[in-house]
């Protein structure tokens, strides 16, 4: 199977697979700088925490070609703040921009615009490659947890939501390629339909049997006893293990606990925010009412109705069985384990980006 590539970086050009058009059209859009990259992130051309982090890094690297000599710091910060404002919940956006800021700082004051732009392009590409490697490692670490029954997932934490391979779907595909056989229940994921449009599409392509359900069917499916594990992704996991993910995740975690089904979160360390003490500190994006009142541009609710449309919710750590990172599996709510995983990833990066290997 040809790998799904949500982000293409070729010869210094950035193209994004327009995820709003899937599963019917596979078209790419070219981006040229920070502003149109921020617009693409906000309008969901690209979505999913790791994918928006990596895309923002490429957007900033492209913008660097316009930075003015003598104003490099200001131009960098202006572009970074445009990108950071695109979506608030996924910490990967901040994480990726901080990595680029550290790259710029390491070059010192006397850097030329050309060498800064070159270094930022190199760093963005490193983030892209690291993300795929982390997802593969995370997939392998989590695969052995899927030891019985079918699997239920929510939203899309697949290749489309990352630089490639996927996080929750990475765990699923890794278990599948190691020979385990099971079916996957994919929730539709109202209102943006990431499950129906994207997860179902990816799993069909991977030839992993997938059954699409509406979000309201999760209780009945878990009560049927067929599901052995729930695996979801995360936009930001706080230091205490509280998990922000797509709206509806919390409901699924409560139901999983009610039915004794383990609830796993696939979290590359790039989505763990140790500066955020707990779920209450995670900013939750509120999106346009039209996403709820309309489907594909067609109104389905009365004019005048009020709408509540948070894009994410927070699942408290006590409902999380384990968090699967590229550094291994951490028990839900194990603060020290989470901090250790983040530190181990930082150390590994330090080793692989030591002079001569950048
Ligand atoms: O609004 P989206 O589509 O960006 O939300 C995506 C999710 O909630 C994913 O589960 C999360 O970003 C993890 S993706 C590996």
| pLDDT score at 355 | 41
Residue 52 Cα: closest atom of ligand 1: 4
**Domain positions in the chain:** 7-136, 139-352
Residue 50 Cα: closest atom of ligand 1: 15
Q: How far is the CA of 89 from the centre of ligand 1 (A)?
A: 10
Cis check for the bond before 23: say yes or no (omega within 30 of 0): yes
Q: Which CATH class is domain 7-136?
A: mainly alpha
8 A C-beta contact, residue 8 and residue 15: yes
Burial of residue 46, with CB atoms counted within 10 A of its CB: 0-12 exposed, 13-18 middle, 19 or more buried: buried
| pLDDT score at 3 | 85
- Ligand 1 pocket by Cβ (under 6 Å): 47-50, 90, 155, 157, 161-162, 167, 194, 233-235, 245-246, 311
What's the Rg (C-alpha) of the chain? Answer: 20
Q: How far is the CA of 129 from the centre of ligand 1 (A)?
A: 19
- For the chain (length 358 residues), average pLDDT per consecutive 10? 89 96 97 97 98 98 96 97 98 97 94 96 97 98 97 98 98 98 98 98 98 98 98 98 98 98 98 98 97 94 97 98 98 97 94 51
Q: Which helix (H) or strand (E) holds 73?
A: helix 72-84
| pLDDT score at 1 | 62
Q: Which are the contacts of 81, defined by CB distance < 8 A and separation ≥ 6? A: none
pTM of the predicted structure, to 2 decimals? 0.96
Query: Could you tell which of 132, 161, 270 is best to mutate to test the pocket of ligand 1, judged by most ligand atoms within 8 Å of the CB?
Result: 161
Q: Which CATH class is domain 139-352?
A: alpha beta
Q: Please tell me which residue in 75, 235, 273, 334 is annotated as part of the active site.
A: 235
| pLDDT score at 356 | 37
What count of residues does the chain have? 358
């Amino acid at each position: 199977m040809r790998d799904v590539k949500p982000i293409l970086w070729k010869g210094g050009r950035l193209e994004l697979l327009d995820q709003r058009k899937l599963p019917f059209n596979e078209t790419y859009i070219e981006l040229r700088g920070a502003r149109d990259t921020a617009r693409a992130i906000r309008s969901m051309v690209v979505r999913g925490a790791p994918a928006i982090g990596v895309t923002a890094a490429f957007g900033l690297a492209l913008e660097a070609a316009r930075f003015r000599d003598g104003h490099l710091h200001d131009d960098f910060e202006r572009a970074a703040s445009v990108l950071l404002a695109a979506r608030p919940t996924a910490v990967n956006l901040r994480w990726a921009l901080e990595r680029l800021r550290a790259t710029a700082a390491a070059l010192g004051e006397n850097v030329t615009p050309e060498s800064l732009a070159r270094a930022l392009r190199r760093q963005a590409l490193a983030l892209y490659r690291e993300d795929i490697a982390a997802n593969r490692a995370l997939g392998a670490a989590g695969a052995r947890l899927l030891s019985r029954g079918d699997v239920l997932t929510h939203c899309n934490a697949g290749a489309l939501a990352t630089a490639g391979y996927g996080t929750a779907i990475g765990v699923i595909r890794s278990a599948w390629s190691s020979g385990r056989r099971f079916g996957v229940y994919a929730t539709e994921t109202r209102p943006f339909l990431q499950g129906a449009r994207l997860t179902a599409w990816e799993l069909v392509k991977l030839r992993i049997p997938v059954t699409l359900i509406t979000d309201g069917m999760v209780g009945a499916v878990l009560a049927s006893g067929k599901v052995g594990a729930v695996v979801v992704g995360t936009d930001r996991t706080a230091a205490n293990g509280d998990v922000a993910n797509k709206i509806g995740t919390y409901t699924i975690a409560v139901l999983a606990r009610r039915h004794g089904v383990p609830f796993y979160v696939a979290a590359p360390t790039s989505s763990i925010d140790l500066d955020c003490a707990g779920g209450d500190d995670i900013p939750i994006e509120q999106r346009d009412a039209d996403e709820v009142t309309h489907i594909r541009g067609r109104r389905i609710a009365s004019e005048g109705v009020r709408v509540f449309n948070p894009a994410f919710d927070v699942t408290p750590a006590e409902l999380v069985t384990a968090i699967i990172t590229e550094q291994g599996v951490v028990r839900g709510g194990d603060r020290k384990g989470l901090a250790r995983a983040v530190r181990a990833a930082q150390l590994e990066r330090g080793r692989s980006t030591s002079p001569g290997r950048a």
